[in-house]
Structure 1
Amino acid sequence: MTEDMQFVSQYGDYTGTKQVLTLFAVSLLPKIPELVGHLCSLCPDLTDDWLTSIDQPLQVKKCAKTGRDFVLCDYNRDADSYRSPFSNEYEPPLEDAVLPRTTSASSRLRANDIFATFTKLYYESGVCSVYAWDPATEDGAFAMGVFIHKVGEGHRGLDQGVWDSIHVFEVVPEGDKFAYRLTTTVLLSMNASGTGLKTLAGSYTQQAENNLKAGSGWHDHVVNMGKMVETMENQMRNSLQSVYFGKAKDVLGELRDAAGASQTQRMAALQSSLAAQLKARNAE
């Protein structure tokens, strides 16, 4: 692979090794997220480009001040520090950290409490964090993300399953309403053992947009976004169940012979015996 190599795909012409590697990473890593660390160690100079282009599995950290768990993601990250939604401080402490001006402390905490209740009702357990930031767009616009991390173990033969929901909103005023533009990505991974270790992982992204009214307070925005998150979660869960899991089941069904080897041998012997008897009868 040389610096002047060219890669032509459905995305266009890409010249140079870095562009090709990034294209491969963007295509591969969402399907096999456990390879992120390995590939980044092989190409450390491309790590920043990859991590900003690919949604990563969410991680959880405990807030040093409040003791509450919060989600780690690119949207509350600055260098190697992460901002807690509860203390609004970076951990480890970061000098000259930039804090968003979009929400007040009470609004930030209220939004996190509301979506924590949503997570408990829909997932029974899990960690949810809400972050807001100032987008580089027109006046009155803001951005907010809702991040849900759910880990399940020991259910229906599942060793461990992880569901990460990443909901990113861009909210822009349009006349007497606001345009809510939502991009949702679900990262799913499952490990099951038994006759053999089986791993299934992948990601799924959908978008939605609504024009809704909202008052001057932050509460109306949270209500509007909460309804969109609920609708999107249900749609994506149904799609994953019917399309992705259904397809995986069909593929595994084609690969796996439901009958055991001994049963297959008995059936083959029976067929041979019947064929021999029919041949003998026809010869009489």
Structure 2
Amino acid sequence: MYFEGGLSSVYLWDLDGSANFAGVILIKKEVDDGCWDSVHVVQVSTHGRESNYKLTTSVILSLSDADSNLSGSLTRQCEINSSIPSSSSHIANIGKLVEEHERGIRNSLAEVYLGKTKDILNLLRIFNGRGEESRKLSLQHELLGRLKNKST
């Protein structure tokens, strides 16, 4: 629901026979011009009515068009403590943590990485454009000079 489509899988396993467990949440979303893959590894340690959640998130973003491909990855970690009134609270706590983490990574990718790449590409286009313009002007001056020489 969060991605409005795509594929996702969740795998959980017990740790050391206690109330502690770990898991991985895998998400893949493909669109016409790219793909978003995220891997969330969570470790939960329960102590009474409180749990400690350690989350490591890695996102791989691939974008492509007719002329170029751009891809990169970003990994972030966080750790929080949260109360657990019932065992089903883990689902809500992990879901909220994953959504917040993905939102932060998506914003970082959009603003920092993709924004900087766009700025650099625009600068390159300007430099190429200026070089092209000066080459055209030089060619025009050369042609005018030759035409003047032929007319005299």
After TM superposition, what 4+ stretches of structure 1 lie above 3 angstroms from structure 2?
260-270
Give the superposed CA RMSD. Answer: 2.4
Contact 2:59/2:75, CA 8 A, preserved across alignment:
yes
Task: Return the alpha-carbon distance in structure 1 between the equivalents of residues 121 and 59 of structure 2.
Answer: 23
Task: Return the alpha-carbon distance in structure 2 between the equivalents of residues 237 and 230 of structure 1.
Answer: 10
Contact 2:49/2:85, CA 8 A, preserved across alignment:
no
| Residues 75-125 of structure 1, C-alpha deviations (whole Å, 9 max, x = no match) | xxxxxxxxxxxxxxxxxxxxxxxxxxxxxxxxxxxxxxxxxxxxx2x3221
TM-score by length of 2: 0.80
* 2:80 equivalent in structure 1: 210
TM-score by length of 1: 0.45
* 1:176 equivalent in structure 2: 49
* 1:249 equivalent in structure 2: 118
Task: Return the alpha-carbon distance in structure 2 between the equivalents of residues 124 and 211 of structure 1.
Answer: 29
Which residue, 79, 82, 91 being the options, matches 1:222?
91
Q: 1:133 Cα deviation (Å)? A: 1.4
| Residues 148-201 of structure 1, C-alpha deviations (whole Å, 9 max, x = no match) | 110001xxxx3xx110111111000134300011100001112210xx3x1111
* 1:32 equivalent in structure 2: none
Which residue, 112, 130, 133 being the options, matches 2:13?
133
Higher relative contact order (CA 8 A, sep 6+): 2
| Structure 1: 5+ residue stretches without partners | 1-119, 273-284
Distance 1:141-1:248 versus aligned 2 partners, 3 A rule: same
Larger proportion of strand: 2
User: What does residue range 151-166 of structure 1 map to in structure 2 within 5 Å?
Assistant: 151-153=30-32, 158=33, 161-166=34-39
Contact 2:62/2:69, CA 8 A, preserved across alignment:
yes
Does the alignment pair 1:259 with 2:129?
yes
* 1:240 equivalent in structure 2: 109
| Structure 2: 5+ residue stretches without partners | 142-152
Task: Return the alpha-carbon distance in structure 1 between the equivalents of residues 106 and 71 of structure 2.
Answer: 15
Q: 1:134 Cα deviation (Å)? A: 2.4
Query: Quick one: which amino acid aligns to residue 140 of structure 1?
Result: A
Task: Return the alpha-carbon distance in structure 2 between the equivalents of residues 222 and 259 of structure 1.
Answer: 54
Task: Return the alpha-carbon distance in structure 1 between the equivalents of residues 55 and 115 of structure 2.
Answer: 26
SS in 2 for 1:123: coil
User: How many residues are paired up?
Assistant: 141
Task: Return the alpha-carbon distance in structure 2 between the equivalents of residues 245 and 166 of structure 1.
Answer: 20
Task: Return the alpha-carbon distance in structure 1 between the equivalents of residues 132 and 119 of structure 2.
Answer: 24
Distance 1:169-1:262 versus aligned 2 partners, 3 A rule: closer
Task: Return the alpha-carbon distance in structure 1 between the equivalents of residues 71 and 63 of structure 2.
Answer: 6
Query: Quick one: which amino acid aligns to residue 213 of structure 1?
Result: S
Task: Return the alpha-carbon distance in structure 2 between the equivalents of residues 222 and 267 of structure 1.
Answer: 66
* 2:144 equivalent in structure 1: none
* 1:52 equivalent in structure 2: none
Does the alignment pair 1:187 with 2:84?
no
